[in-house]
Amino acid sequence: MASAPTLPPANDPGPPPEEISYLSQLCYFGDLDDKAVHTAFRNSLEAFEQNGRSLRELWPVLLSAVQSARPHIIKLLLSRGLEMNEMYIKQAIQTRSKEVFQAFLESGWDVNMLWDNFHPPILACFVENLDFTQWFLERGANLDAGCYLDLTPLSFAVRRAQPSIVNVLLDRGSVEKGQLVHHAVERSEDEVKILEMLVSRGASLDKYNTPSTWTLGIMSTSKAWVLHCTERWGADQNMKDTKGRTPLYIARDVGDADLIRLFESS
């Protein structure tokens, strides 16, 4: 990831210099397609540079432009040397403006860039919204792009999105990445419906879940469908984790009587 822009000292709670505050305020009034804003912004930016100040100090202005969805100002500042970082992406997620993300893309941003080592790329933040998701996919977003935790945007969709959205996205992604079965088990509703989609596309209940994740995941959701899963799709209740434990052993170990009965009777 590109190096972070110049940030204020952590022990300096004071406001930014007056010139920076003024440029930030202009972002709230309009974009560069507004003649008055254009003139004032360009003149102030030129004066800032002529005073020997570094444009890297203008990170509050770029943040304001992202917050107010001003794509022309965003592209201008990025073209003049400010660099993309996690701060602007997080604000763009809150702003939820396609114009902001388009400005990022036109400025060289990679839509599949990892902006957090433990969070998948930007698409993961929008998988519950089909319109936004399709917009990102049309611009090269990858549903299987992961992070260090084997999480993908499709992992987030399987866990959170409506079944109708998941069904569409599974035609664009792979069941081989992102521990999708595990995330389906963790859903608060429609878990069987999602599992049916996954299994119909070749996902294995055993391959992606150790006995501990499968059993403990079931304990936090509805248990009545355990038999449905094992009988219909052949989940192996005798599989063992790295400690040699089966699902039944784990259920007994945690003392869950309902789950013990389900495993013993199947």
Question: And the tokens for 95?
Answer: 């702003």
Which of residues 215 and 174 earns the better pLDDT score?
174
- Token pair 């943040």 is found at 63
Tens-digit pLDDT profile for residues 79-134? 998 999 999 999 999 999 999 999 999 999 999 999 888 899 999 999 999 999 99
User: CA Rg, the chain, in Å?
Assistant: 25
Burial label for 148, CB within 10 Å (0-12, 13-18, 19+), is exposed
pLDDT attached to residue 259: 64
Domains of the chain from N-terminus onward: 1-109 (no CATH), 114-203 (1.25.40.20), 209-266 (1.25.40)
CA distance 71 to 77: 10
pLDDT attached to residue 85: 92
Tell me the average pLDDT of the chain.
82
pLDDT attached to residue 204: 73
Tens-digit pLDDT profile for residues 21-49? 999 999 999 999 999 999 999 999 999 98
Which residues are CB-neighbours of 21 under 8 A, at least 6 positions away? 15, 60
**pTM beyond cutoff 0.85:** no
- Does the structure show a pLDDT above 80 at 236? no
- CA distance readout (Å), 54 to 3, 73, 77, 184, 224: 15, 17, 12, 49, 63
pLDDT attached to residue 262: 63
